[in-house]
Amino acid sequence: MVRYLYERILSAMLTMFIVTAIIYTLLSLVQGSALDVMGGSGGEMSHADYEAIRHNLGLDLPVWARYGQWLRNVLRGDFGVSYRYGVPVGEVIAQRFGPSALLIGTGLAFAVLLGLPIGIMAAHRPGSLWDRLSSFFALAGMTAPRFIICITFIYFFSFKLRLTPSMGMHTVGNASFGDLVIHLILPVSIIAFSKMGYLIKQTRSACLEVFQEDYLNTARAKGLSETEVILKHGLRTAVAPILTQAMAEIPELVGSAAIVEKIFGWPGIGALMIEAIRNRDVPLIMGVTLVIAVVVLLANIFLDIAYGLLDPRVSYR
Amino acid sequence: MNSSEFWKKFRTSKSAVIGLSFLLLEALAVYLLPALFRMDPVASDVQAGFFAAPSASHLLGTDGAARDLLARTLYGGQVSLLVGVAAPFISVLLGLPLGLAAGYYRGMAETVIMRASDVFMSFPSVLLSMILLSIISPSPGTLIAVIGIMDWPVIAKLVYGNVLSIREKEYIDGAVSIGRTDFEILSHEILPGVLSPVFVSISFRSGGAILQESGLSFLGAGIRPPQASWGSIISAAQDLSVLTRTPWVWAPSGLLIVLTIMSFQFLGQGLRDTLDPKMKL
């Protein structure tokens, strides 16, 4: 187990290194124009000033040297200074991390709490009305683009029914918990709705397979109630393929949360990334890239371990 | 399975037939109507007004630059369908050979290719696409390339998994023992076995590509005005007053995106059920 973990972490670090190196190289192709975005091009800046700023930003060095420098700084905890905000990248990210974690975490929790039972019930009576309704619901969640769900929800729930606010995390001057909750309702239900689709579908097909196994009949013959049979014996085996699917979905979850954050003006890391890419704010993009990569890889390792703990058939060498 | 058997079986899947019919009708509409009625997606009709409600002269109303929304929606459909059909072929072009190589040769090729696909899949593709599109200027062509490239690991993994199970079959041992070359084995024995899942997955990926394109255009990283695309038309709804007061601007394009993606999904499910109901995708 320890050896397995050690190998997993090592390979995750390698992946992180490759991801950041690729994105750094890509970004180096637009760094010149970052200067233009800052108001450098045209007649406003003399050639000597332009060169001096290029030198200050280290843009006169080759890409690999700059990447090496960036990596060394990161290892020392220095992510550089945002071109746009003029403050350390670490500070900007630290402010934005909490709101994102809150939004994604709550959305995911609701998706699991609702999606698993819906999928299990669908698999328990395949072809029933419940099964067909839930498949349609799942299909809608999987196929409707996030930004369209966001707009439709805002139109109906915030504007037509006036139930919830449509912007931000707090009403100005009100930092109470209740206010936070009503701001969370819409974005969280959108994330939960779109993630639930995959979960329902995956749970249903995994459970369908397991429910046919003979050992479930054995458990029934022992006199266990149907609920016990499904929860104790069935679900434990079905959970492995569900987790595999969940793992593949994490990057997509971060990406779709970014769109939700952007539309709702939620002060999270995904909206920050979209803005940073638009401004070609290279240090900020690199900082967020690293944070997203770390979160995705940590979540993968975590799910991998959960997989082994839950499925009795898996053992780590 | 020959083609008449295929159609006979395919026709029994109601949702697949509905999906395919919708897509064909939609393709006819977006490519023929604008030419037939000489619609102009970029001309401003200032007299009609900005964000004008649907009327006889502008059936879907006008947008913020007084452009006819029906024309823009149809031209936007051309972009979306083109990206949806073309992007998956780029993914197959990259993913099929890489998946074949990884599954057949194993060893070093397997490690490098599968590792690379893991790296690719560990970062949100929307954000990576946005970074790529900030380097190369966005157009239908570059969008097809970027979205196609983003999806190669999906195809590569699918092919890889299928090759692994085929290469254990006895007829492959047979082909090796009579001295056939790797190329002959790959193209004659293995490729036919992996084509059906790839074919089915193209339909699913088409829906995914349209989703990606519309999302990127919505965020302003894809097709930009004056050129029309469903995503860029809806992008006007980021303004709260457009969202709440003029739903005719964004609702038709939004509905079309959802219906188109669903149709590709239905088509894919129908193809899967026709070719091999037990196929894992």
Question: What is the per-residue pLDDT across B27-38, written as a single tens digit (0 to 9) for each?
Answer: 999 898 888 877
For residue B263, what are its two tokens?
A: 């149709």
Average pLDDT of span A296-302: 84
Query: Which residue among B125, B220, B265 sits closest to A139, beta carbon to beta carbon?
Result: B265
* Interface contact A273-B127, CB threshold 8 A: yes
Regarding predicted confidence, which is higher, B51 or A185? A185
Q: Which residues contact A207 (CB under 8 A, 6 or more apart)?
A: A119, A120, A123, A124, A234, A235, A238
**Closest residue on chain B to A30 (Cα):** B135
Sort out which chain B residues have CB atoms less than 8 A from A146's CB and list them: 215
In the predicted model, is pLDDT for residue B96 greater than 90? yes
Closest chain B CA to residue A160: B244
**Cβ-nearest to B124 among A142, A152, A251:** A251
CB contact under 8 A, B124 and A152: no
Q: What percent of chain B has pLDDT over 90?
A: 33
- Determine whether B35 is exposed, middle or buried from the number of CB atoms within 10 Å of its CB (0-12, 13-18, 19+): exposed
B119, closest residue in chain A (CA to CA): A15
Per-residue pLDDT of B171-201, as tens digits, reads 888 888 888 888 888 888 888 888 888 988 9
At A188, is the pLDDT very low, low, confident or very high (cuts 50, 70, 90)? very high
Reported as a pLDDT band with limits 50, 70 and 90, residue A272 is very high
For residue A40, what pLDDT band results from cuts at 50, 70 and 90?
very low
> Would the pLDDT of A43 be above 60?
no
Chain A residues with beta carbon closer than 8 angstroms to that of B265 = 139, 142-143
pLDDT at B24: 95
Instruction: Answer whether A144 sits within 8 Å of B132, measured CB to CB.
Output: no
For chain A, give every domain's residue range. Answer: 2-75, 99-310
Q: By CA distance, what is A298's nearest residue in B?
A: B122
The reported pLDDT for the residue numbered A33 is: 54
- pLDDT value at residue B187: 82
Q: Which residues of B touch A142 (CB under 8 A)?
A: 265
Q: Mean pLDDT across the stretch A186-205?
A: 88
The C-alpha of A224 sits at a distance from chain B's nearest C-alpha, in angstroms, of: 32
- Provide the token pair at B122: 């560990």
Cα gap A84→A266, rounded to integer Å: 19
Structure tokens at A99: 């709101």
When mean pLDDT is compared across A86-95, A209-218, B168-177, B218-227, the lowest value belongs to A209-218
- Does pLDDT of B215 surpass 50? yes
Mean pLDDT of chain B: 86
Res B273 pLDDT > 80: yes
For residue B97, pLDDT beyond 90? yes
- Nearest residue in chain A measured CA to CA from B127: A255
Q: Would you call B259 an interface residue with chain A, using a CB distance cutoff of 8 Å?
A: no
**CA-based nearest residue in chain A for residue B265:** A143
B127, A277: Cβ pair inside 8 Å? yes
Residues of chain B contacting A258 with CB distance shorter than 8 Å: 124, 126-127
Cβ contacts below 8 Å, chain A against chain B, sum to: 109
Average pLDDT of chain A is: 82
Residue B39, pLDDT > 60, answer yes
Q: Is the pLDDT of residue B67 over 50?
A: yes
What integer pLDDT is reported at residue A281 of this predicted model?
A: 87
Asked if B247 reaches chain A (Cβ–Cβ under 8 Å), the answer is yes
Q: Give start and end residues of each alpha helix (H) in B178-221.
A: 182-184, 191-218
Domains within chain B, CATH numbers bracketed = 3-275 (1.10.3720.10)
pLDDT attached to residue A244? 74
Q: Which of A83-97, A247-261, B77-91, B262-276 has the highest mean pLDDT?
A: B77-91
What CATH number is given for A99-310 in this structure? 1.10.3720.10
| Chain A residues within 8 A of B237 when measuring between CB atoms | 151
- Nearest alpha carbon to residue B132 among B153, B149, B112, B109: B149
What is the mean pLDDT of the segment spanning A69-77?
Answer: 87
Contact partners, residue A118, CB within 8 Å, separation at least 6: A134, A137, A196, A200, A203
Cis ω on the peptide bond leading into residue A187 (within 30° of 0)?
no
Residue B155 has pLDDT above 90, yes or no: yes
The average pLDDT across B42-54 equals 73
In this predicted structure, which of A22-36, A220-234, B21-35 has the lowest mean pLDDT?
Answer: A22-36
| Chain B residues closer than 8 Å to A261 by CB | none
Identify which of A23, A145, A258 has the shortest CB distance to residue B214.
Answer: A145
Q: Does A262 touch chain B (CB under 8 A)?
A: yes
Quick check: B237 and A151 CB within 8 A? Answer: yes
B204 lies within 8 A of chain A by CB: no
How close is the nearest chain B Cα to the Cα of A205, in Å?
A: 11
Q: CB of B149 within 8 Å of any CB in chain A? A: no
How near does any CA of chain B get to the CA of A180, in Å? 21
Residues of chain A contacting residue B257, judged by C-beta atoms under 8 Å apart: 145, 148
Q: What is the ipTM of this complex?
A: 0.85
Nearest Cα to Cα of residue B68 among B57, B76, B77: B57
Alpha carbon of A155: minimum distance to chain B alpha carbons (Å): 6
Cα–Cα distance, B169 to B110 (Å, whole number): 19
B161 touches chain A (CB under 8 A): no
Q: What percent of chain A has pLDDT over 90?
A: 12
**Taking the CA of residue B164 as centre, how many other CA atoms within 13 Å lie in the half-sphere pointing to its CB?**
12
Tell me the average pLDDT across A286-291. 91
Per-residue model confidence (pLDDT) at position B27: 92
Residues 98-157 of A with CB under 8 A from B: 139, 142-148, 151-152, 154-155
**Which of A42-51, A228-237, A264-273 tops mean pLDDT?**
A264-273
Contacts of A10 in chain B (CB under 8 A): none
Cβ–Cβ under 8 Å, residues B187 and B126 = no
B111, exposed or middle or buried, with CB in 10 Å at 0-12, 13-18, 19+?
Answer: exposed
Report pLDDT for B98. Answer: 95
Over residues B125-150, the mean pLDDT reads: 90
How much of chain A, in percent, has pLDDT values that exceed 70? 90
pLDDT for residue B1 = 67
Residues of A in contact with B211 (CB under 8 A): 143, 145
